[in-house]
Structure 1
Amino acid sequence: MQLEEIKETCPFCWSCIWLLVDPSFDQIYTEDCSVCCRPILVKTTISDNQITLTLAQEDDGF
């Protein structure tokens, strides 16, 4: 398993953050922002070897 580092924007503080993503399967998980420490809901979708991330505030859900 090789993780990929992807740059995204925190939905709370709007800071740029780096997330480590497992590109082998779709998943939904919670990760704390490295800047403001608030919980971010992360959804990864893998399609045609392309990774799509959707970030949301944990209370909002998908």
Structure 2
Amino acid sequence: MLEARQIQCPYCGDTIDAQVDCSAGSHRYIEDCPVCCCPIEYEAEIDADGRLCSLMALRDDDG
């Protein structure tokens, strides 16, 4: 199940739509910002019922 969230790009600051696959459990993934094309690392926390608890958008260099 996909869930949509609006997040702020950690590079350009624009608000963008992120799609999270809640059936995959808690996970990390990388997608390019559709505005500035920089790689955003997403960290999705999914609860035991398959609901999105939190979504963090990090810079690739936040290390």
Cα shift at 1:16: 0.3
Structure 1 residues 1-56: Cα deviation after superposition (integer angstroms, max 9, x where no partner): x2111110000000000011011201111110011000001000012634301111
Gaps of 5+ in 2: none
Indicate the structure with greater helix content: 2
In the alignment, structure 1 segments of 5+ residues that lack a partner are none
Asked if the contact 1:23–1:51 (Cα under 8 Å) also holds between the matched residues in 2, the reply is no
Asked whether the 8 Å contact 1:39–1:57 carries over to 2, the reply is: yes
Q: Please identify runs of 4+ aligned residues in structure 1 that moved more than 4 A.
A: none
Hey, what does 1:43 align to over in structure 2?
43
Aligned to 2:18: 19
TM-score by length of 2: 0.84
In the alignment, which residue of structure 1 is the partner of 2:6? 7
Aligned length: 60
